[in-house]
Amino acid sequence: MLDVQRLRLLRELERRGTLAEVARALAYSPSAVSQQLAQLEAEAGVRLLDRVGRGVRLTEQARVLTRHADVILERLELAEAELAASLTQVSGTLRVASFQTVLLALVPATLSRLAQLHPGLRVQIAQREAEPAFAGLLAHDFDVVLGEEYPGLPEPLRAGVDEEDLAHDELRLAVPPTGPLSTVDGLADLAGAPWVLDPERAAPGQWVRRLCRSAGFEPDVRFDSLDLLLHVHLVETGHAVAVLPDLLWAEREPRLRLLELPRRPHRRLFTGARRGSAGHPAVRAFRTALREALEATRPSSRPDAAAGHIGPS
């Protein structure tokens, strides 16, 4: 009989690439991981690992096992979720990975709701970009992740992930409240302006660069940062222009001018959980509290960009 925990170690080795990374993630020593995988080889009766330099590579027989391991581990999570659902209280630890705008706008209210309704549930939050967040979800580092999808940049379909739409969040052009940049009427007027953008490797940065190119110019990126609060500050102080999502204004008033972009583009916000654990009461409770937090955001705090909007000075 093949040992399930050893199958999981083999699956983690396929995901993480090295024995050292598996050991670090699962709180083993590298030698213990190696010993467990050697025992799995004995159980399976076939060679599972080939030595390549200082590392190892999975054999074809090992990859056969990892495909079955995915199904086995998913069924175990389904059993755990059903067992937890049979209890009267939601408890345990839920590990969540999110990006900045959701952390700022929705997570505090979500945590307050969960603390009131489910005091036995401990929620751990990590700020991560989409790719490492989903990699961590599939590696069991996280239980729920928040994702975003920009127009024309579809997120890949991830096997074993249950996605649930959260919202469609409008993206707007942000210019300073005063000064020369405050008088522009739209994107085409900003060909020579200083921009603050996400790095090009990130979906938001890639999308805004494409947007500018479609308007006939290459943006002059003076500031390259993943920190949207820095984006806001640089625009408010007159040092840059940017494209910002409406969700930033869920709990604060914009102190800058916001303009509609052509065709009023939106980003899609969604949550992801492993398919086997999507029905777990803790996952369901978090998703419900997150939706309720979104619905409770004050409509008056959302920008009215029909003719542009200037926040208080």
| pLDDT per residue as tens digits for the range 194-219 | 999 999 999 999 999 999 999 999 99
Q: What are the angstrom distances between the C-alpha of 18 and each of 31, 60, 64, 258? A: 12, 17, 19, 48
The two tokens of residue 276 are 């086997």
Which amino acid, residue 253? E
Residues 149, 291 share a domain = yes
Which of 159, 168, 160, 166 is CA-nearest to residue 278?
A: 160
50: domain range? 4-84
CATH number, residue 127: 3.40.190.10
> Which of 84, 116, 137 is the last residue in one of the domains?
84
Integer angstrom CA distances of residue 108 from 24, 114, 119, 250, 285: 30, 10, 15, 12, 15
d(Cα 255, Cα 245) in Å, to the nearest integer?
Answer: 14
Final residue of a structural domain among 59, 84, 109: 84
Give me the number of domains the chain comprises.
3
Q: Comparing 245 with 54, which gets the higher pLDDT?
A: 245
Number of other CB atoms surrounding residue 82 within 10 Å: 11
Residue 150 has pLDDT above 60, yes or no: yes
Q: How confident is the model at residue 130 (pLDDT cuts 50, 70, 90)?
A: confident
Residues 203 and 306 in one domain: yes
Running DSSP on this structure, what letter comes out for residue 45? Answer: T
Question: What value, to the nearest 5°, has the Cα angle with vertex 92 and ends 127 and 141?
Answer: 40
The Cα angle at residue 53 between residues 52 and 55, in degrees rounded to 5: 65
Q: Are residues 148 and 278 in the same domain?
A: yes
Q: Are residues 105 and 211 in the same domain?
A: no
In this prediction, residues 174-184 reach a mean pLDDT of 94
Q: How confident is the model at residue 299 (pLDDT cuts 50, 70, 90)?
A: low
Which of 24, 57, 84 is a domain's end point? 84
Q: Are residues 174 and 253 in the same domain?
A: yes
Domain of 47: which CATH number?
A: 1.10.10.10
Q: For residue 248, what pLDDT band results from cuts at 50, 70 and 90?
A: very high
For strand 220-224 and strand 194-197, is the pairing parallel, antiparallel, or unpaired?
parallel
Q: Confidence class of residue 15 from pLDDT cuts 50, 70 and 90? A: confident
Collect contacts of 215-222 with beta carbons under 8 A, ≥24 apart.
Answer: 215/187, 215/188, 215/191, 216/188, 216/191, 217/188, 217/190, 217/191, 219/190, 219/195, 220/192, 220/193, 220/194, 220/195, 221/195, 221/196, 221/197, 222/194, 222/195, 222/196
Q: Enter the DSSP assignment of 56.
A: E
pLDDT at 75 over 50: yes
Over residues 96-108, mean pLDDT: 93
Q: Is-contact 162 278, C-beta < 8 A?
A: yes
pTM above threshold 0.85 = no
Whether 185 and 255 have beta carbons less than 8 Å apart is answered as no
Q: 207 and 306, same structural domain? A: yes
Residue 298 — very low, low, confident or very high, per pLDDT cuts 50/70/90? low
Mark whether 246 and 277 lie in a shared domain: no
Residue 252 has pLDDT above 90, yes or no: no
What is the average per-residue pLDDT within 115-126? Answer: 96
Note whether 185 and 254 are same-domain residues: yes
Q: Mean pLDDT score of the chain, rounded to an integer?
A: 90
Of 11-25, 90-104, 118-132, 282-296, least confident by mean pLDDT is: 11-25
Quick one: 157 and 291 in the same domain?
yes
Q: Which of 260, 290, 256 is nearest to 273 (CA)?
A: 290
pLDDT band at 93 (very low <50, low <70, confident <90, very high): very high
Asked whether residue 147 falls in the same domain as residue 79, the answer is no
- Indicate if 217 and 242 belong to the same structural domain: yes
Cβ within 8 Å of residue 214, ≥6 positions away: none
Rounded CA-CA distance 245/222 in Å is 20
For residues 278 and 157, state if they share a domain: yes
